[in-house]
Chains A and B, each alone.
Chain A
Amino acid sequence: MLKILVCVKQIPDIDLVRMDPETGNLIRTGVPTLTNPLDLNALEAAVQVKERYGGEITLITMGPPMAESTLREGLAVGGDRAVLITGRPFGGADTLSTSYAIVKAADMEGSFDLIFCGKESQDGATGQMASQLAERFDAAQISCCCSIDGIADGKIRATRTLETGREIVEATLPCLITVEKENFYGRLPNLKAYLEAKTAAITTYTENDIDGLDPEKIGVPGSGTIVPKIYPPELPEPGRMIRTGSPKTDVSELLKLLAEKDAI
């Protein structure tokens, strides 16, 4: 039976997050959370693999206790088990310390044949987690996967989307895969699974529960980067609709403006 790990992240609804212009901090208070959409594509890929080849899906996330709802969302659409890594010392982590914590916690659950990740998170958008996890799991990595074509004899064959076409690749297991949306749109949970997921057991690890966890490698101390400042991009001057009421005068107005800017 394939052992499959899917990494998921709860993020604030980025459509609703605003930035404090003074401090440059993101104002997350009161902003609804959601599961990183690209992680749901990864989960769907994992569920399709489970349906075709058999297996067990473990979901893992690191975050505050409320991140449990993201795990329950995953359990409702095909996850079998869920692991939450939570605790103050994990806070303020960059990708380096996050990937360390995830791999150490995943090790508590045994070894995995396949690891699925979203390409990036919509809030941080570093796109670094998958490669770091592959390195730490000592796994091969297939990125931009648009189809999983076969799994047999300890190997996986998959198709990658390239800018110039498609590429079929083969890798030995364990293998970490990031997926494209195509073919892996998330599914709706059925009612039974939705209700069962609400009360399903979730394994919770704090910093004290993970064997061999080095406190210097998690949270802020374990982070290799710091973010001194976040600021919004300077937006170009907004466009203006020319609508004088007549196409002829619209064009005259446009020509006048272009001439003023020495564009013609």
Chain B
Amino acid sequence: MAAFNKITPEIAAQLKAVVGEKRFFAGEAIDPGYSHDEMPIYGKFFPEAAVDVETTEEVSGIMKICSANRIPVTCRGAGTGLVGGCVPLAGGLVLCTRRMNKILEYDMDNLVVRLQPGVLLKDLAADALAHSLMYPPDPGEKTATVGGNISTNAGGMRAVKYGVTRDYVLALTVVLADGRIVELGKSVCKTSSGYSLLHLMIGSEGTLGIITEMTLKLIPNPLCDISCLVPFRDVESCIHFVPRIKMANLDPQSIEFMDADIVTSSAAFTGNPIFPERVNNEDVGASVLVTFVGSDEDELDQKLIRLGKIAQDAGALDVLVVATTATKKAAWSARSSFLTAIEADTKLIDEMDVVVPVDKIPAFLIYIRRLGEEGGIRIRNFGHAGDGNLHIYCCSNDLEEEEFKRRVKIIMDKAYTKCAELEGQVSGEHSIGHAKMVYLKESVGEDVFRLMGEIKKVFDPDGILNPGKVCDESLAAGKE
């Protein structure tokens, strides 16, 4: 167990001296939301104090104090995570970046933007669009901070064409555990210059340093887009269609998978049944929503014609076109509502975010459904079919919390074992936090897990940065 110190009145006074009285919170003044993220089933953990930071220098000042006094520091953005990543397991200080929400500068010659970590994804997307640019990563949670996206290497719907957050981070300003400020990466297109500490920092969930400024790559905004919903009788034929889209050289921007259950939940939640449950007098078992971008309508029509041909060969029930402003809005707001729709009609919820080779999706989904039926747990799922990333939710409205947790643990244990058998990974984009650490260890093995721990020690010898997360088992015995 790591030996941390409490925030004494003297230390509190030093912290206040850095951020000022108004941005230091203790006791009841701390936002109760800081005790959890969007997956409250993993428990609530309260910090002793919280600070809202505004500058790199403030973060550095805070870290110097916390490092000197062995105070644990958990960095937090919008708190939209799903694995307990921003939750202060060891108490201590929550350092919130929500006020660092400025887009600082566009470099239109190099298509680069410099911004602070607390900028929300939706704000960056809209601002880039106003400059005729696109920030390609497109995670479903638009109210997440971009800093949080980088800390988790979030992916999202457009990853199939553009890659994930990591692929768009050129440089970071990072405050280390002892308060030193370092610059990682440069605003250049390629590099072969030693170990990439930049890429080590991306996806490290605030355990190696605190990101205070980011330089990101943008692309010109595509001139037009169109989506198609391709419904199938069953999950298997639906998923087998996915590699055919890729092999047809259609270069889709996204390929989103949805089964019949999630479509029903979403229609009830949004009140708009945009995704049909029956097509040509047959029940739809599963569908993919495929999006293409291009320079003009003719180019997109040609892609649609080719998609239609392979869809017919693959046994699709039909190909439905999402072309108008209204249907695009309805379709994408329905797709973006999937998690909220599940949350809206579910009392107890737990999730997994595995990624498997695309051709293994049906095997995994069939397996997890069977586990759900055997364990008396309702399973809801959707995901990014184009890259094998599945969001699977275990839900219950009837069980007591303890019984729910017991049953879900059995399902999760088996499901992650199955995921490993299928050559998959524990998390595609939600990260590890503290909730998935045990599964990460099983997945990567003792040697790799220990290497991760040793890297953590290099950056943070006293273990004060986001203790108990990713590969830090020091708090495991003390968890609720």
Interface assignment of B294: CB less than 8 Å from any CB of chain A? no
B28 adjacent to A13 (CB under 8 Å): no
Complex Cα–Cα for A204 and B307 (A): 33
Complex Cα–Cα for A245 and B307 (A): 54
B29 adjacent to A73 (CB under 8 Å): no
B321 adjacent to A185 (CB under 8 Å): no
Interface assignment of B320: CB less than 8 Å from any CB of chain A? yes
B325 adjacent to A248 (CB under 8 Å): no
Minimum C-beta distance from B437 to chain A (A): 32
Residues of A within 8 A of B319 (CB): 190-191
Residues of A within 8 A of B25 (CB): 245
Q: Which of B30, B301, B327 lies in contact with A195, CB distance below 8 A?
A: B301
Q: Which of B30, B318, B324, B331 lies in contact with A34, CB distance below 8 A?
A: B324
Q: Which of B22, B28, B320 lies in contact with A188, CB distance below 8 A?
A: B320
Stretch of B101-109, B255-263, B268-276, B405-413 contacting A (4+ beta carbons < 8 Å): B268-276
Within 8 A of B (CB), among A159-176: none
Within 8 A of A (CB), among B44-79: none
Interface assignment of A246: CB less than 8 Å from any CB of chain B? yes
A194 adjacent to B323 (CB under 8 Å): yes
Q: Mark A163-203, 1 if CB is under 8 A from B, else 0.
A: 00000000000000000000001111111101100100000
Q: Which of B308, B322, B326 has the most CB of A within 10 A?
A: B326
Minimum C-beta distance from A75 to chain B (A): 13
Interface assignment of B304: CB less than 8 Å from any CB of chain A? yes
Complex Cα–Cα for A191 and B325 (A): 17
Q: Which of B29, B307, B326, B327 lies in contact with A246, CB distance below 8 A?
A: B29
Minimum C-beta distance from B312 to chain A (A): 10
The verdict on A191 contacting B322 (CB below 8 Å), with A185-B274, A245-B25 known, is no
B321 adjacent to A34 (CB under 8 Å): no
Interface assignment of A37: CB less than 8 Å from any CB of chain B? yes
Within 8 A of A (CB), among B253-305: 272-274, 276, 301, 304-305
Residue of A nearest to B309 (CB): A191
B326 adjacent to A35 (CB under 8 Å): yes
Q: Which of A185, A188, A195, A246 lies in contact with B304, CB distance below 8 A?
A: A195
Complex Cα–Cα for A248 and B28 (A): 8
Residues of A within 8 A of B229 (CB): 188
Complex Cα–Cα for A249 and B22 (A): 13
Residue of A nearest to B228 (CB): A191
The verdict on A185 contacting B29 (CB below 8 Å), with A13-B325, A191-B304, A191-B319 known, is no
Residues of B within 8 A of A192 (CB): 308
Q: Residues of B at under 8 Å CB distance from A?
A: 22, 25, 27-31, 228-229, 272-274, 276, 301, 304-305, 307-308, 318-327, 331
10 of the cross-chain contacts (CB-CB < 8 Å) are A13-B325, A186-B326, A188-B320, A188-B331, A190-B318, A191-B304, A192-B308, A245-B25, A245-B30, A247-B28
Q: Residues of A at under 8 Å CB distance from B?
A: 13, 32, 34-35, 37, 40, 73, 76, 185-192, 194-195, 198, 244-249
